[in-house]
Amino acid sequence: SSTRSFIHMNDGSRATWQIMHKGKIGHTYHISTNEIISIRELVESICVKLNVEFKNHVDVVGERAGKDSAYQLKSAKLRDEMDWQEEITLDQGLNECISWVTKNLDILKKEVFDYQHKP
Distances (CA, A) of 20 to 7, 8, 32, 81, 101: 18, 18, 16, 13, 32
**pLDDT higher than 90, residue 85:** yes
Each residue's pLDDT tens digit, 89-111: 999 999 999 999 999 999 999 98
Each residue's pLDDT tens digit, 4-14: 889 999 999 99
pLDDT score for 73: 83
Q: Is 22 helix (H, G, I), strand (E, B) or coil?
A: helix
Strand partners, 4: 37, 71
Q: Which residue has the higher pLDDT, 54 or 71?
A: 54
The Cα–Cα gap between 11 and 95 comes to 16
Confidence of residue 69 (pLDDT cuts 50, 70, 90): low
Each residue's pLDDT tens digit, 26-67: 999 999 998 889 889 999 999 999 999 999 998 888 777 666
